[in-house]
Every structure is written in structure tokens, then in C-alpha cells.
Structure 1
Amino acid sequence: MNLKLYLFLFFICLKSFSQTEIHQKTQDSIKKEELNEIVITASRRSEKIMRSPISIEQLKSAEAKNMGSPSIYEALENVKGVQIITPSLGFKVINTRGFANSTNVRFAQLVDGIDNQAPHLGAPIANALGANDLDIDKIEIIPGTAAALYGMNAINGLANIQTKNPFEYQGISIQQLTGINHVGNIDRFSPKLYSQFNLRFAKAFNEKFAFKINASTTGGTDWVADDRTDLAPKANASTNLYGADNPAYDEVNGYGNESANRKTLNLNGKNYVVARTGYRETDISDYDIKNYKADVGFYFRPKKGNELAVTYKTALINTIYQRSNRFRLDNYTLNQFSVDYHTPIFQVKAYATTENTGDSYNMRSLAENMDRAYKSDDKWFADYSTAYKNAVTNGASVADAHKIARTSSDQGRFEPGTAAYEEKKNELVNINNWDIGAALRVKSTLVHGEGLINWDKAFSSFFNKIEAKLLSGFDYREYIIVPDGNYFINPVNASENLTYQKTGAFTQLTKDFFKEKLRLGATIRMDKADYFDTKFTPQFTAVYSPKETLSFRASYQNGYRFPSIFEGFSNVNSGGVKRVGGLRIMSDGIFENSYTKASIDKFQSQVNSDVNTLGLTQAQAIEKNKNTIQKNPYTYLEPEFVKSFEFGFKAITLNKNLLIDADFYYNSYKNFIAQVEASIPNTTDLGKIPTALYSKNTQNRYRLWTNSKSKIYNYGASLGLKYRIDEIFTALTNLTYTKLDRTDDKDGLEDGFNTPEFNVNGTLMAQNIWKNLGASATARYQTNFDYVSFLVSGTVPAYWSMDAQVNYYFKKTGLTTKLGGTNILNKPYTSILGGPSIGGLYYLSLVWETK
């Protein structure tokens, strides 16, 4: 509370000082800034933001630099309706309107209209292949489905990072940002340095030729994930073993003690669920961040309005990545080559992105196979049983006997930090089979081509006469995967690459009525992907602007999301469980002949309970509970589908100093792509199936991509206010409300909503307080929310945090200094379960520019 008071008094003093020292300047009204602002992402054509037919948010580089965030990308957390989750310091994920996860395949991310996803994931690795801060002009975000115009699985939203054109922005820019995190003993690290270096050089030789070069490096020590919550707290409830006494103890950020690493042991007449010991992430992970990216572009303007851009981007990534497991990305590379030619009438674009996962590895697989490397599961559990019985014979209590048995069985185990451990780790992270190793070895390519034609520009006299605009477009995309024998195989021909293709086309018509006060629009899109029927996506929009400073908008649209490469074609051996893509070509016969893991787990738990509490034999308990086992009701993959309704308005009022932007939406989803775990018993004898499914050794276990049978409805609203107090001070505030309405036909596979109900942030910015001195402070708060994932499920606690910065521009030298911090109170919080605890980051940024 004292810090809040100090900040308030600080800004009051600044305001008083500035009003005394600074002569009155011409006030830039909200009208000047907002009414004439042009956006392109909402309709794929230039239009004023006030007349956008759907909600669109915008963060300009100049505004982001006056916020406490160290980068423009991270400043998106202050934008209305945007949720950012942080699986690691070097990897942040953008989402809007619910159903967030650490691999957000429902939210597309573009740079100058070019998708920057990692092909095999179907989603970007944060801003790894994106633009650096010095080259970003602005970022436009569509919160909500953008499938009708983009068709690239953007059913939750889309971000388009727009860079600076070298014809308009020339010169050299250099930034060095040096910071410090891990302050105050919040985790196992003492304070560590964080560094980011950015370079931009752009030159136009004349009116026709220009080029630019960008480079960026980021280094530091990642936030630590060390959640020790037990994920199997009731595994031994029937024997009253809980907490530290639970022999099936499974920490969130401990790996190698999950369900695949557990076994039911009958010890002295009682059934106990026992897990192997595993390793904590803090003991085995490399938390160093070393990320690099660069790009070069050549630009040619044969005549006014026409431009050819040829660009090449590359990125090298060394950080932590979170999916259903936590991964260490080492020497992970992305490369992209693109060609873009546009005129006022048409645009054609083609690009190719290649991905090589390098020396990356799965931390869970590393942990469980590190355990197996010194002693097999069968040997370890046999030793455990013997040691337990000996301990009980010698008078130990049940809880103590389990601890003695674990200590005895773990003798000879590889200990982190030893030479033997490092040698074995280096061996395992290079074995491309997660049953015995941990390597992630994927090579993939994405090839994309698209075109747009503005019919109203080609036939301007006709379309001007009818006051209408017509835009058409097409796109083609192909994914090419090199089979590695573990992660991906070609089920048809093992010696050939795996391919997956999609084509699409759309037409958009807009027409003005009533002297351009009403604009109606309609879009129809067609998409065809391999293995699926053609899908049609309509969009209908209306914008009513009774005057320049007020507009109302409404829209209805559908959206489809086709399975990613991983969801459709994966073939992963992982701890005795085969993760299989949901296309029939990959999983033919498995759905029809398997039983759900959820029912098998319940069956095994009831058998153990009846043995322990009722004194039944194992055979009797199996017979008693066999009807608990359920056949797998799911089948092969279909695309996801969403219907979305949206209403909103923008208004400028209070002498044109206050901008109000509000929206409300309602969505319904079906066919969520999700995972189901199921097993096929190693017998076809109906009478023997229950016994086979009681033991892991007599069943084949699968994790299958399929569609949830649930229908899910959610709604929400957001309100953004921007108020220019005077020529120096501007206040921004955003309130986002996101609600899961209901779920029909619940089947347990529906994706986690994973979104706080309320998210609010507020920023006070000051410019030219004294000469070129500026400052800002931001506070944000979000409520707690339920988080569901394959790694962990539970509740993410509510948190609030503050960012702040002061900056000064030295006009003579072209140097801008910025001293700031995020989470300046250093109160650790988590944005997702299984992810790291995030503390304060304090930094000094120096930017030198010449023009």
C-alpha cells in the first residue's frame, strides 16, 4: 500500500512540476490520434479503425515504448482482451477469449501477413521468428475468430505484427537492454543478469531500391518451475497413506513418477500403488536462455504503389517450452524465405518455413529413462517389494517401511550434478525413442502461397457508382514432415516424407448506405484439407456510424480449425504409452477395440480398495468391478467448429479527449480436438479382458487425438478507455470479462477454458514532464481460474502486479534511456499450472538511433 501511495504522490509532483515549468503546448486530441488511424488486419484492406466491422485492437510502437514492459510483444499484456501466459521467460503465448494453453493452435500470429508458426506444432514459438522491437511499427490483434478471411485456424484470434518499411524508416538503430531477475531469494537462483541486444539498419538507395537488416540476441536465466503439489494424493487412500507417506507421490514439476511409472504391489496382503522416484525439474533442467534471430529484406518499387519485398528470417532457440510435457529446446532452428508483390489492385505472396528441433529433448522422458538406465522397472519394483517386507519384519511401520524400501531400491541411482549423471543424460537426450530416450528430432517445412485482388480497384468506376467494394483471395498450404521413426512416421511409405495440404478461397463484399453511415459486409470462404470434406465459412458484418466520433458494429461468423500435423499424424513412444494421431490413416482399428483409461483407472482403484478394505482376493475384486470398464466411444478426427456473435461500439467524447471501446461476444464450439487415453487388452477373450486391463503388462496403452462430444458455450465483454488528461498525462484502462457459460453432453475431453473471469489493467503515462522526460506505471489484476491440461489440472491463483518505467530522450545524441521493471514488487505468481514462478525483472534500456 505504501508503494501505491508513493507512486501516486510521485505523479502528482511530476504533474505540478511540469505545469510550472512547461509552456502550454498544442494538445493532440484523441480525435487526431484515433479517428484517422488506419488498420488493415480486420478486413485485409486499409480502413479507419473507427469503422472496423469487427473488434480490432492496436498497439503502436511509440505507445508500447512508454510502458513498463521490456518489449513491445510483452506490452500486449496491457491490450484490451489479451491474455498472456508465460511457460518460460523466453516463451510467452498470446490468447484471446478463452481456451488458452501453452501451445495455442487456435490463435494465429503473423508478421507482415506471413505466418510465423513452427510447422509441426501449428503454432508460433512466441516471437522467436518475429520482428525485434526496433523494427516493429505496430501490432494489430483480432480478438475472436478470423477464419473467414484468413482460414489458418484462427478461431480464437489473430495477431499481425507490422514492421517498418525501409523506404519510410531509414537509418541505424541499436538497443541494449540489461536487466536482473531472481531477486530476493524467490527460487534457487541468486540474482541473474538478463540481456537483450537489438540492431536495425535500413537504407533506401533511391525511390526504387531499399533494404534492411535486423538482428537480435537474448540471454539470461529462466524462471523456475518447482510446484511440488501431489498429483496422486488419493492413490493410497485406502491404506491411509497421504502426503510425504504416499508411495505414489507425483509432484507437478517432478518427472518420472507419473501414472506410466507406477505399479500396484501386493505387499503383506495389501495393495499399494507405488511410483518410481523420478527427478525434479530444478535438478535436471538447464535454465539458460540463449535466443538469436535475424532477418534481411530487399525492396523494389517499380512504380508508385507497387512494391516487391524479398525477405529471409532465421532464428536459433535455446529455452524451455511447455506442452503436455516440459521440453528443453536446444539448438532449435527456424528459417523462413518469403516473396511479396503488391499493387493497389492485387497482391501475391509466397513463403516457406523450415524447422529443425536440433538437440531438444523431453524432460519427462529424460527423468523416467534416467531411472530405468540404472535399474529396469521390473527389477526396481521387485527390490522394493523385498525391502518393504524385510523392513516390516524388522518392526518398521507401514509408512517407514515404504521409505526404507525406496531408499534401498534407489541405490545406484544417477544423481544430478555428478559426472555419471551428465554422461548418461548426454546419451539419453540423443536417443530418439521416448521409451528408452528423450530426444525431440523433427524436421519439417511449411510452404504457403496466397493472392488477393481488389475488384473495386480494378473496376473503380463501376464500384464507385454502386458504393461497394469487392475483395477476393485464395491460399494454398502444404506441410512436409521428414519421418524420424519416433515422433512421425509415414504410414503409407516409410521412405517418403509425410505431406498434408490445404487450399482455401474467399470473397468479401461490402457496400455503403445512407451517405456512408451504414456499411454492410458479407464474406464466404471455402477450405479443403487432405482427409476432410470441403468446409464453408460465412461472415456477416454491419457498421453504423451516425457521426465521425461514434460507430456501432455487429457481426456473425463461423470458423473451422483443421488438425495440426502433430494432432493428425503423431506417432510417439512415451513411457510405454503410444501417442497416436487421430486420422484413420494413423490409428485405424484402435478406437474400435480399446477401453478408456478413465474407466480402467477407476476399475483398478476399486479393485485395490476392495482388496484392502473388504478382504477380497484380487480375482474376486476384479470380478466384482469388471463392469466399470467402458469401451472407447470416440472415433477419428474432424475439424473443430465455432459460431461467433459479436456486438461493439467506439465513441470519442469529453471534448474529444476520451476514447471508449466496448465489445460483447457469444461463442459456441463443438468437436474440440482433444486427447483420450485408452488401452487394448492383449486378449480377445471377453472373460479375460478385465484381468488383462488390471495390469499394465498385459495391455497396449494409447493416447489418441480425437474430438470431444461436448458442446461448449462461452461469452464475454471488454471495455477499454483512453483519456488524455492534458498535454502530458494519458490514462489507459482495460477491463475484460470472460465466462464459460455451459457445457452440454460433458464427456471430460472438452478443452480447459483456462482463462480468468476478470482481467483488468490500468496505465498512467506521462510524456515531456520536463524537457524529454517521460514515465509510466501499470497495475494489473486477474482472478483465479481453473486450469486443465495433460500435464496438470487445478486452480491458478489470482494475482496482481505492477510495472513502471522512466525514460529520457537525449535529442542531440539520438539516445533514449529507459529504466524500468515488471512485477516491480517482486511478488511471485504463476500464469499456468506446471509453469514457472514469475518474479520481478528490472532493467535499463539504451536505444541509439540515427536517421
Structure 2
Amino acid sequence: MKTILKLFTLLFGVVSFAQTTVKGKVTDNTGLPLPGANIVVVGTSSGTVSDFDGDYTLTVDLDPPFSIRISYTGFEAQTIEITSNNQTVDVTLEEGNTLDEVVISASRTPERIFESPVTVERFGLKEIKNTASVDFYDGLENLKGVDINTNSLTFKSINTRGFATFANTRFMQLVDGMDNSAPALNFPLGNLLGMTETDVLSVELLPGAASALYGANAFNGILFMRSKNPFDHTGISGYIKRGITSQEAAGDNPYTDLGIRMAYKFSEKFAAKVNFGYLKGTDWFAVNDADKLNRGLTREDPDYDGINVYGDEVSTDINDVAQTLEGLGLAPPGSSALVPSQNVSRTGYDERDLTNYNAESIKADWGLYFRPWEDDFEIQYVGKVGSGNTIYQGANRYNIKNFFLQQHKLEIRNDNFFVRGYVTEDKAGDSYDMVFTGININRAWKDDQTWFGEYVAAYIGATLGGATDDQAHTAARTQADTGRYVPGTPEFQNAFERITNDPDLNTGSRFQDNSKIYHADANYNFGDMIDFAEIQVGGSYRRYRLNSFGTIYTDNDGPINYSEVGVYTQLQRSLELSENVELKLTGSVRYDKSELFDGFFSPRLSAGFTINEDHNIRASFQTGFRNPTTQDLYIGLDVGRAILVGGAPDNPARDVRNYDLSPNGTAITGQSNIDFDGTGAYNNSFFANSVSSFGESMNPADLEIANSNLAQPEQVSSFELGYRGKLDGVIIDASAYYNKYQDFLANETVIAPFYGDVQLTETLPGGTPLAVAAIANGDFQAYQTYTNSDEEVNSYGAAIQVSTKVLGDFDLSANYTYAKLDFDVNQNPDFRTNFNTPEHKVKASFGNTELFKNFGFNVSWRWSDNYFWEASFGDGEVPAYHVLDAQVNFRVPSLKSTFKAGATNLLQDEYFTAFGTGLIGSQYYVSWTINNL
């Protein structure tokens, strides 16, 4: 290593002329040490941090005099002049307030959160240490305006300002500038493959549109996570958490979470770090057996389709089966008259039979950092890998098993610019669709035709024997299910293993993927070169390579490639209007172009008035746009009830499938089967709701033409007002917004007939339209299309937070969030906005970091109003809920350790945040954190 450093020194001609050492201790105004305080030489990036006891040693290649700046989150920074070598500088920092904290995300430049031109939330080291949640990522749920939808124990989806599903493609998550979305899914899997807690420096969150600075996917909010630089944060730190998860359905199960961080500064030129994290637990069991289609059916009903029961999605009209059997001579003449026209579903398997609910995450990252001139110019290489098991709910429920994600980044930066490039690659591992697992285990045992034939034959026999309708259905199912594979038997397990390793959804349930994203972006800040304003310019380039082998996308014939590019600029200037009033103006604009669509400009304008250093009023207008995601464009996925077909211009024709026609369809077309592609969904289809109406009335006038438009970029115009201020020790942060969407991207459910036109101009000799005959004969395919709404979709809301000190030194804060969708759902029953956000939310926290020496606690409570959840898996009401979390912690300075005991959902009121997921129980844990600065 020394030889390498010598070579680098020779290469860049760096010579050290002097060396000065400064030592000291950083404490608060009560005399307690402040570990992790930053000590930086003013005007450079050279610095260090205080250790667990608040002590620090800073050695730099500079001759005095020079100045150092000592800062700590939540305290007022101090700048001190160094006049001699070996000078001792002990500093006592006075507690400040959250408005003095510095954020970077709002304007891509450091500024006090008090002066930020837009709403921004920050979750720093202090908040991470004091959160009552089980980890820092869960702790974000206590921020105002933030929703966290819990998919499973290890997969949680963050969202702001509505329009969220677990496939939350409107919200962006960046880790040290890298988008950690999985390329195949187009969204991050929570923190499953994200950051290790001991390496988190800060978390910032921008709600709302931010396309002007961050591009096409920065549409509804961005989460920024920054890690610790090994030049500033050295040493070994780690944590271990042990506890249990407790749920009525799953019982009590062990939970383990551990992480370690190792960082070393070899010299002022070279530093490196390594992180490792491991989590293992048992996921929340999903055992809801209510009727998925909200018809009020129970397991005893013939056409039962349970929410967390899979295989019962396969359903057919048994009278049609009876007529077929009678026509083939396999049933007595006239027996079909004994069989009602009624749908019957196959018997399904509970979700708990199709997964072991193993929740696991293994992740590691490493970084090499090089400062050739020992200043702020830095070259970074960062690598990240992660693998894990979780449950994901999209159109179906999926067991994400041994999923693998890796990222590699090379970045060159200093205080004024950065240039970075990275690649993200995912592999689906052994992941599978639990719905198709249930369907195909049934079919592996007995094909649908045989099962329904036996059912009808038994029904007829029971009816002729004098049984009632209910008795006949019971007898029929018992007969048809005779010999069915039973969970836990070798026959079941063999079928399960075979099917979950088969990627053909006709016979299996595994999905494959090895997709990649290549991304590069750059930014330069001319603030040091131009006096009248701070001007930034930047741009980005992204290329997608989709490779699911035909299991997710329409890429049967090879990977799908396409790219996007964008450029932007921002101007920011502060004007002193009077002695006590300052005006800060910010203007930015970005141009983005996808090779599939026309380009688009995204401007942002904001103004902030600072009055008497205690009050800031801000107003902004910003636009955003969102290119359709990879799934919006190129998905081609059969989910049982419908086929998801993306809206890229060339995609529908790529989704070709073969269908057997009904006997009537064969008589009409002269074909027994047909090759049919997805173009019918977009140019020859009816709305699904209108087909249901036609099924009841048999009146062709009830059929409504759908013919979804191909997908186009979505746009939003956002207006926001906000206030931040201090009033007699009370800090207030409030905002209100109104969003107006154009070409809103969502889904429509449509029905495409295999023959005939939806204009009903093609008719049979008797005058019946061919398309009507196709619907009546069951010769059609249901599709879910990806399209844009012609209707207005608007939303508005507000949020306010109040925080203060009470009873001397206790921290108290509370916030309220209001969110409302402005869209006529009744006039657009087939269009799904997926707003999925409660109208009212209230959150509060109370605690003391130093109740007595080295002992602190925190309690947080949140309440959510009821709301309606709609997504491709299913729709349903989410009842109101409230949750209480709490923790106590004790510091042992001699061990450089903090011990914590905590509980989430302390009241044990199980709840859920989305239709179809398992109920969220309680977690109880103890943790030991060592030397986490």
C-alpha cells in the first residue's frame, strides 16, 4: 500500500511542506461529549470527527494561521482560528434548532433548511439514534407528509403526496447519487438492498415534483440517503439487534439484524471503507380468506376466490361445461338443464402453503476514495451487492427469493462539480409467482377440463339423487378434489419444486430476469466564479437493457434496449431588500428526451422571503414529467385474470399467444385455435365494466369502446406555499400544495374479442355483431393496458409540524398531513389512479436524549385515517389505525456503546396499509451499538 501511495504522489507531484496538529474535545452545554462532531479546515475538505468521548485529533499539511469549523447536527457551529502547532481547542456547542440544519437536495447546493426554496425533510444522525422505530428506514414514517406502505417485513415502500402502489415508480430513491431501483421492477425494494445503518450520514426527503433538477422520474418525491466518507468518519463500528416479531397468524418468531462498518484513512490521499449487513426474520403471514372480488362469498361458495388463496382464480360457467359434455355424449341427454348457469372455481391453496415466509437480507458495499492533491478533489469507486428474500405484491403476490442486485460507481468530484457513472444489474434468483404456483399445482395434478368435467358429472348425479343445490355443489367439489395434492406430502412438494423452477406460466411460476441500467450524470456549480448569482449546469444519460427472457417483458427474442438523456441549469440569487428582509430567488429548467417520445421542458421558479432571521415564507411553481416506466412500456405478463401489456408503440404486437376457440367460435371462424397479440387491447377492445353490464343485460348498447391510447409521458404542474419560523421557542414548518396532472399514466382493464370489430360493423348472417358473439361465446382476452387519461386528475394537500421543548428539556413534536384526490371516479370506473393515501394523518413524538446521565427515551405515535386502496392485485378498504412505538437507551462511554430496548406497535393492534398484505404485528428488540459516530 505504501508503494502505491508513493506512485500516486509522484504522479500528481504533490509535496507536503508543513504539518500542524490540533487536539481537543467537543461537548454540549451540559458537559456531555458530542461523538461524531465534524472538525473541518475552512476552505478545504480536510477534517476529522470526534470519537465516542468527544475527543478529536486533526493533522493537516498547513502552516498556521488557518481556521477550523466545528459542527454537530442540532447545534450551532463554531469557527476558531488556529495560530500554532499542537494547539488544544476544547469547544462547547450550544444547542440550535432543526431549521439551522444544512440540506443539499433542495437546490443541489448546501443551504440551511430554513432557507430551502421548497419543502424538504431531514433525518440526521440524532434522529437515527433516537428513533423509536426498529431501524432508520422505518423511522422515516414519522416525518410529516410521508407514507410507508408495508408490503412485508423487509420491503416497505415510501411515498409522498399520494399515487402509490408497492410498484411505486413515481417516487425516486438515491443512495450517494445512485438510483437503487431494481432495473426489472423499476422501483426500489425498500431498504432490502440499501444502506447499512452505521454508514448512514443523513437522509433528506423532497416531497412533490423535482424534475427540474433530477430528471424524468423525480415526479412525486425523492429520498436522498448519504453515507459517511471514510476521510471524515474512520474506525470500526457495528450493531446487533435481537428480538422477536409477534403476529397472531404467525406467532412469535426470532428476529436478527446486524451490521458492521470498517473505515480507514491511510493518508490524506487515500481512504477506504467496507460495510456489511445481515437481517433475518419471519415475514408477516397473509391469511385473509375474504372474497377478493368483494362479493361477500365464503369458502363454501362455489365461485369462491380468496384474497390470500391461490389457484381459485380459475373459474368457469358449469352450464357451458355441461352442454359440452352432453354434446360429446359424455352426459345423459337433457342433463345440462339440471346444471345452473353459474361460475365455479377450482379449490385453491392458502398462501402459507406456498411460501415459508423467510425474510432475509444480505448486503455489502465497499469504497475506495482518493484525493490526489489532499484537498476537496476526490475520486471514488463504490461497489454494492445485495441478496434477499421478501414478499412483493404487484399484479399477483410474489415470493422474491434469492434476488440479487449489484451496483458499481465511479465518481470524480469536488465542492463545485461531480461526474459520475454507474451500472445497476439485477437477477431474479429463484423468485416465483405464488398465484400461478397454486394454479399450476392444481393443473399438474388434474387439468382444468378433467376437473370441471368431474365436477359437473358429480353435480348432475347428486341432483338426480335428490340433493339440494348446496349439497350437489359440496358433493361435486368433493368428487373433483379426490386425490388432490395435500400440502406437506411428497407429491405436493415435488410439484411445488418443479413448478417454481419452470418459467413457462402455462406450466410453471418462476420468473427470470437479468436486466441492467447504465447511468451517467454530471453537475458544475459556477458559484465561486460568478458573483451576481449561483449558476449550476448539469445533465444525465440513462440506457435500459431489459432481459427477462420473456417472463416479465415481451423480450422473447432478446433484450430490449432504449435510452433517455437530459440537461438542466439553475440560477439562484439572494437580494437584501432591507436590513431585516432578504429575498432568495431560484429558477431552473431541464430538458429531457427519451428515444421513444418527444422531448419535454421542466421549469421551476421559487421565491423565499427571510424576515428577521426568524421567519421564512416561500412560494414555488414547478413542473415535472415522468416517462413511462419499463413496465409501462414493455411488460407482457399473464397474471391470470388479465394480461398486462405495455403501451410502447412496438410492444402490443410483440405479445403473441395462442388460444383455443369455443365450439361456436370454431364454427364462426373455421379455426379451432388462433394466434392473438396485444394490439387488440389498444385498437379493438371494450371497457371491462361495460362487458359486465352487457353480461347482465345482453344489450349490445351497453358495450363501450375502450381502444386505449398508447403510453405517453405524464406531466404535473405543482404550486406550493410554505412557512418556516421560530416563535418563542416553538418551531413551525408548514406547507400547502396543489398538483394538476396532464396525461396521467394509469391502467385500464379492457376486453379484446378474438373476432369481430368493436364498432359492431361486422355481423353474422342473422345480424348479430361478430364481436358480440365473441363476448357471448367467451372468445376474448382481458387485458390491463398502460395508458394516459383524457380526464383531469388533480390533487391537493397541506402539512404542518410544530416542535418545541417542554418541561424543561423534553422534546415534543407533532405534525398533521392532509391529502385529497380531485378526480371523478364514478365517471371513469375503468381508470385507476391508485391514489392510495389517507386524507388525514397525525403523528407525534415525545422524548429526552438525556433524561438523566447517559439515559434517554423516545415515544412516537401515529394515526392514519381510513382510505380506499386500489391496485392491480385488488381493491379494498384500509381501516383507520394508530400505532405506538417506544424505546429507551443507555450509553456506556467506557465501552463506547449504546444499548437500546424498543418495541413497535406496542399496543398490539394489528393493522395493514394495503389490500392483500399480511397484518402488521409487533416487534420487540434489544440492540447494542458500538462506536457509531
Same fold (TM over 0.5): yes
Q: What corresponds to 1:248 in structure 2? A: 303
Q: What corresponds to 1:549 in structure 2? A: 614
- Aligned to 1:768, the other structure's residue is in SS state strand
Matches within 5 A, 1:256-267: 256-258=311-313, 261-263=315-317, 265=319
Q: What corresponds to 2:671 in structure 1? A: none
Matches within 5 A, 1:662-701: 662-684=734-756, 685-686=762-763, 687-696=769-778, 698-701=779-782
Q: 1:205 to 1:72 in 2, by over 3 A?
A: same
Q: What is the CA-CA distance between 1:129 and the residue it aligns to?
A: 2.8
Q: What corresponds to 1:83 in structure 2? A: 147
Matches within 5 A, 1:400-479: 400-457=471-528, 459=529, 463-464=530-531, 466=532, 468-479=533-544
Q: What corresponds to 2:691 in structure 1? A: 600
Q: Contact conserved, 1:806 with 1:819, CA < 8 A, in 2?
A: yes
Match of 1:97 among 161, 179, 203: 161
Q: Distance in 2 between matches of 1:769 and 1:243?
A: 54
Q: Distance in 1 between matches of 2:315 and 2:507?
A: 13
- Aligned to 1:812, the other structure's residue is in SS state helix
Matches within 5 A, 1:345-424: 345-424=416-495
Q: Contact conserved, 2:393 with 2:873, CA < 8 A, in 1?
A: no
Letter in 2 for 1:772: N
Displaced runs of 4 or more, over 4 A: 22-31
Q: Does 1:826 align with 2:908?
A: yes
Q: TM-score, structure 1 length as denominator?
A: 0.90
Structure 2: state its 5+ residue gaps.
1-28, 34-73, 77-93, 321-335, 654-678, 757-761, 764-768
When structure 1 is superposed on structure 2, of 526-535 and 673-682 the one drifting more is: 673-682
Matches within 5 A, 1:87-126: 87-126=151-190
Letter in 2 for 1:294: A
Letter in 2 for 1:85: N
Overall identity of the aligned pairs, in %: 34
Match of 1:271 among 324, 333, 341: 341
Q: Does 1:740 align with 2:740?
A: no
Structure 1: state its 5+ residue gaps.
1-21, 236-241, 608-623
Q: What corresponds to 1:642 in structure 2? A: 716
- Aligned to 1:98, the other structure's residue is in SS state coil
Letter in 1 for 2:312: N
Q: Does 1:283 align with 2:331?
A: no
Q: What corresponds to 1:618 in structure 2? A: none
Q: What is the CA-CA distance between 1:216 and the residue it aligns to?
A: 0.3
Q: Distance in 2 between matches of 1:820 and 1:41?
A: 31
Q: Contact conserved, 1:443 with 1:482, CA < 8 A, in 2?
A: yes
Q: What is the CA-CA distance between 1:59 and the residue it aligns to?
A: 0.7
Q: CA offsets per residue over residues 374-404 of structure 1, 9 Å max, x none?
A: 1122221111111111111222211221122
Letter in 1 for 2:287: D
Q: What is the CA-CA distance between 1:780 and the residue it aligns to?
A: 1.0
Q: Does 1:801 align with 2:883?
A: yes
- Aligned to 1:753, the other structure's residue is in SS state coil
Letter in 2 for 1:452: N
- Aligned to 1:148, the other structure's residue is in SS state helix
Q: What corresponds to 1:710 in structure 2? A: 791
Q: CA offsets per residue over residues 529-558 of structure 1, 9 Å max, x none?
A: 121001111111111101212111111111
When structure 1 is superposed on structure 2, of 331-340 and 27-36 the one drifting more is: 27-36
Q: 1:281 to 1:224 in 2, by over 3 A?
A: same
Q: CA offsets per residue over residues 504-528 of structure 1, 9 Å max, x none?
A: 0111111222357001111111110
Q: What corresponds to 2:625 in structure 1? A: 560
**Count of residues in correspondence between the two structures:** 791
Q: Does 1:626 align with 2:700?
A: yes
Q: 1:789 to 1:265 in 2, by over 3 A?
A: farther
Q: 1:638 to 1:264 in 2, by over 3 A?
A: farther
Q: Distance in 2 between matches of 1:539 and 1:452?
A: 17
Letter in 1 for 2:511: L
Letter in 2 for 1:719: I
* Structure holding more helix per residue: 1
Q: What corresponds to 2:119 in structure 1? A: 55
Q: Distance in 2 between matches of 1:70 and 1:574?
A: 35
Q: Does 1:521 align with 2:575?
A: no
Q: What corresponds to 1:201 in structure 2? A: 262
- Aligned to 2:217, the other structure's residue is in SS state coil
Q: Contact conserved, 1:672 with 1:750, CA < 8 A, in 2?
A: no
Q: Contact conserved, 1:265 with 1:274, CA < 8 A, in 2?
A: no
Match of 1:43 among 85, 107, 113: 107
Q: Distance in 1 between matches of 2:175 and 2:927?
A: 24
Q: Contact conserved, 1:108 with 1:152, CA < 8 A, in 2?
A: no
Q: Distance in 1 between matches of 2:149 and 2:640?
A: 28
Q: Distance in 1 between matches of 2:294 and 2:97?
A: 56
- Aligned to 2:167, the other structure's residue is in SS state coil
When structure 1 is superposed on structure 2, of 171-180 and 718-727 the one drifting more is: 718-727
Match of 2:836 among 747, 751, 754: 754
Q: What is the CA-CA distance between 1:24 and the residue it aligns to?
A: 9.6
Q: What is the CA-CA distance between 1:23 and the residue it aligns to?
A: 7.7
Q: Contact conserved, 1:756 with 1:785, CA < 8 A, in 2?
A: yes
Q: What is the CA-CA distance between 1:108 and the residue it aligns to?
A: 0.2
Letter in 2 for 1:773: F
Letter in 2 for 1:669: Y
Task: Report which of the two structures shows the higher radius of gyration computed on alpha carbons.
Answer: 2
Letter in 2 for 1:593: N
Letter in 2 for 1:741: D
- Aligned to 2:455, the other structure's residue is in SS state helix
Q: Contact conserved, 1:730 with 1:766, CA < 8 A, in 2?
A: yes
Q: Contact conserved, 1:764 with 1:778, CA < 8 A, in 2?
A: yes
Q: Does 1:506 align with 2:552?
A: no
Q: Contact conserved, 2:863 with 2:883, CA < 8 A, in 1?
A: yes
When structure 1 is superposed on structure 2, of 189-198 and 213-222 the one drifting more is: 189-198
Q: Distance in 2 between matches of 1:741 and 1:498?
A: 37
Q: Distance in 2 between matches of 1:748 and 1:578?
A: 16
Q: 1:483 to 1:60 in 2, by over 3 A?
A: closer
Q: Distance in 2 between matches of 1:129 and 1:67?
A: 21
When structure 1 is superposed on structure 2, of 248-257 and 575-584 the one drifting more is: 575-584
- Aligned to 1:584, the other structure's residue is in SS state coil
Match of 1:487 among 544, 552, 556: 552
When structure 1 is superposed on structure 2, of 265-274 and 757-766 the one drifting more is: 265-274
Q: Distance in 2 between matches of 1:263 and 1:169?
A: 67
Q: 1:576 to 1:816 in 2, by over 3 A?
A: closer
Q: What is the CA-CA distance between 1:28 and the residue it aligns to?
A: 6.1
- Aligned to 1:456, the other structure's residue is in SS state coil
Match of 2:366 among 265, 275, 296: 296
Q: Does 1:223 align with 2:295?
A: no
Q: CA RMSD in A?
A: 2.1
Q: Contact conserved, 2:813 with 2:845, CA < 8 A, in 1?
A: yes
Letter in 2 for 1:499: N
Q: Distance in 1 between matches of 2:339 and 2:127?
A: 69
Q: Contact conserved, 1:180 with 1:843, CA < 8 A, in 2?
A: yes
Q: Distance in 2 between matches of 1:292 and 1:807?
A: 27
Q: Distance in 2 between matches of 1:405 and 1:270?
A: 13
Letter in 2 for 1:594: S
Q: What is the CA-CA distance between 1:233 and the residue it aligns to?
A: 5.2
Match of 2:866 among 761, 784, 787: 784
